[in-house]
Amino acid sequence: MARERSTTRREALSMDVGFVGLGAMGRAMARRLLAEGHPVRVWNRSPEPVAELVRAGASAAGSLAEAFEAPVVLSMLADDRVVESLLLDEELLAGARAAVHVNMATVSPALARRAAELHARHGLAYVAAPVLGRTDVAAAGNLNILAAGPSAELDRLAPLFEAMGRRTWPLGEDPAAANVAKIGANFLLVSAIEAFSEAAALAEANGLDPAALLEVLTNSLFPGPVYAGYGAMITQQSFEPAGFRLALGLKDVNLALDTGAASQVPLPLASLLRDALLQAVAHGHGEADLAAVSTTSRARAAI
């Protein structure tokens, strides 16, 4: 396996990549591809990020269609709506020379199913490969990549994934599965934040320093980046700058709820999170870090 990978890697040096969507995550990921020697032609709705990437060695695609002339196209767009309007386009796909489109955004499994079917109709493979990790993780090439789609395509894409991530998790042939995994991960993330927020309010009201509680927890039951990172923001009630915007967390919880509704799976904890996040938005914390949902636990208790 290790040998096979390194072979693939060598071959990949000549792999031409189209990259669509140069937000903060997209830029960091495209830079990693360039750093590993992949020629990248980039496209973005606004021109500034394109110019930035061109300075870093990318070429600029004059249109989406031009980006889809590369054999492999990666996209990292904001949400279902943007993907739908830009990429699920009969004309674009009919004219594409690309063999595979890898959608790395956090979108619904319903969109993945529609996309896979539409791509297949036009002879393209569709791979879903959403990622775990913020922009700093992306910049370091340390993302966890949750990938699902035709296994031959996943093999072919391995060198690109290796350029961007520390590990790729193959989740089967059905692209939707990767989106479900990403949605599940973010749902657990927000759950952990709400749980610690409530515990911190309980602690504070009962004479226990939430920071002391956090130290115990992260050194015993709950190691890892989530409790430590968000926990510190919560104990300090400091939510700027936003590593993960609260409004995006609400979008992701809504994805979980919509996916649950479509598959008849009630998710009462996701409902609770949605209400708490919505309350935080109503109180002006939509652009703050996700950890600002903790303001709601404090407000309930008049702390």
Catalytic residue IDs: 182
Which token pair is 301? Answer: 């208790």
CA distance 303 to 301: 5
Q: Which backbone phi and psi does 54 adopt, to 5 degrees? A: -65, -40
Bridge partners, residue 289, by sequence: 245
Check: CB of residue 59 under 8 Å from CB of residue 42.
Answer: yes
Nearer to a second copy, 53 or 116 (CB): 116
Query: Which CB sits closer to a second copy, 8 or 142?
Result: 142
What x/- string results for residues 227 through 256 when contact with a second copy is judged by CB under 8 A? -----------------------------x
The answer to the question of residue 20 lying near a second copy (CB under 8 A) is no
Six token digits for residue 298: 């404090």
Position among 153, 162, 194, 289 found at the interface with a second copy (CB under 8 A): 194
Which of 54, 195, 211, 232: binder of a second copy (CB under 8 A)?
195
Site residues for a second copy, 153-192, by CB under 8 A, read 167, 169, 171-172, 174, 176-177, 180-181, 183-185, 187-189, 191-192
Identity of the residue, 24 or 211, whose beta carbon is nearer to a second copy in the bound complex: 211
Range 54-83, binding a second copy (CB under 8 A): none
| Bridge partners of residue 148, in order along the sequence | 128
Q: Residue 259 and residue 247: Cα distance in Å, rounded? A: 18
CB 2 to a second copy: min, Å:
19
Q: How many residues bind a second copy (CB under 8 A)?
A: 75
CB atoms within 10 A of CB 168: 20
Sheet with 59-60: strands ordered across: 59-60, 40-43, 17-20, 72-75, 100-103, 125-128
Interface of this chain with a second copy, residues 273 to 292, rule: CB under 8 A: 274-276, 278-279, 281-284
3-state secondary structure at position 108 = coil
Residue 25 or 199: the one with the smaller Cβ distance to a second copy is: 199
Q: Does 132 bind a second copy (CB under 8 A)?
A: yes
Taking the complex as a whole, the smallest distance from the CB of residue 231 to a second copy amounts, in Å, to 10
190 close to 277: Cβ distance less than 8 angstroms: yes
Return the number of the residue (9 or 251) whose C-beta is nearest a second copy.
251
